[in-house]
Amino acid sequence: MFELEQVSKRFAGTQALQPLDLHVPEGRTTVLLGPSGCGKSTLLRLMNGLLRPDTGRVLFRGQPLRDEELLTVRQRMGYALQGGGLFPHLTAEGNATLMARYLKWSSERVHARLRELVELTRFPPDALGRYPGQLSGGQRQRVSLMRALMLDPDVLLLDEPLGALDPMIRYELQGDLRDIFSRLGKTVVLVTHDLGEGAFLGDQVVLMREGRIVQQGPLAELERAPADPFVTRFFQAQRLPVSGGHA
């Protein structure tokens, strides 16, 4: 789905990403995992073209991301971020259907797709007319997910989508997300700093530190055969034995 070749990024004298290579397989959930500031969100934004690499190139379905094609290509990518990123002056329905209406879908098509997504995300239909400020944190995140899925994209890019939620809501949404990933069978790239969340949702993880990929593969493999002492320290710091699973 994605191929990143010797991609790097620098911001105002700070090297956010060292030159790295990454393959994101199709139909799987890849988790970008690591401490704050390790470069995982930067990597995600390079994938959807919100940032352009200083070196190297990003390929989507075998084709480089080109500036003149970005708007069209982004319609094949759903993107959701921490807190939802909703427009406060639009209702839940207005936020969820924004791109479909921009693309001039018919009202019938918009409402049919919205009904599907309300059922999929378990969003309360009677809250569609509310504004973001009138919604709970979990409801805002469900609206953000509906918006990301509205155009039935090839890939979902999720940047700490559950990071701002309290533990009980986060627990519930983790279960819902895993069910959604399983039902849709889409390619998903998920950014998190939470090892348990990565273990619960991901097929493979990419563990990062200081702009570099330290190790990647199934999480159990990282636990069994760490490639670097940092891998072991990261596991120990979160006090989660992977073999014990995530409830």
For residue range 192-227, list pLDDT tens digits in order: 988 888 889 999 999 999 999 999 999 889 989 999
Q: Which amino acid is at 154?
A: D
Sign of CA dihedral 226, 232, 234, 240: positive
> What is the tens place of the pLDDT at every residue in 228-239?
999 999 988 876
Residue 202, phi then psi, degrees to nearest 5: -95, 150
Q: Considering the domain boundaries, does residue 197 fall inside one?
A: no
| 71 has pLDDT over 80 | yes
Residue 40 and residue 157: Cα distance in Å, rounded?
Answer: 12
Average pLDDT, stretch 126-130? 97
Query: Per the domain annotation, does 213 fall within a domain?
Result: no
In a domain, 116, yes or no: yes
- Scanning the chain, the segments in alpha helix (DSSP H) are 40-47, 70-74, 92-96, 98-102, 107-121, 137-149, 167-184, 195-201, 219-224, 229-238
What is residue 42's predicted lDDT score, i.e. its pLDDT?
95
- With H, G, I as helix, E, B as strand and everything else as coil, classify residue 22: strand
**d(Cα 69, Cα 24) in Å, to the nearest integer?**
21
Instruction: Report the 10 Å Cβ neighbour count for 33.
Output: 27
Determine, yes or no, domain membership for 105: yes
CA distance 193 to 207: 9
Residue 120 lies in a domain: yes
DSSP 161: T
Does the pLDDT value for residue 164 go beyond 90? no
% of the chain at pLDDT higher than 90: 73
Per-residue pLDDT band at 243 (split at 50, 70, 90): very low
Average pLDDT, the chain: 91
Is residue 5 included in any domain, yes or no?
Answer: no
Number of domains in the chain: 1
Domain that holds residue 144: 84-152
Inside any domain, residue 124: yes
Contacts of 38 (CB under 8 A, 6+ apart): 208, 209, 210, 211
Domain-embedded: residue 139 = yes
Other Cβ atoms closer than 10 A to 24? 21
Please, are residues 223 and 235 in contact by the beta-carbon 8 Å criterion?
A: yes
Mean pLDDT of 157-186: 87
pLDDT of residue 239: 64
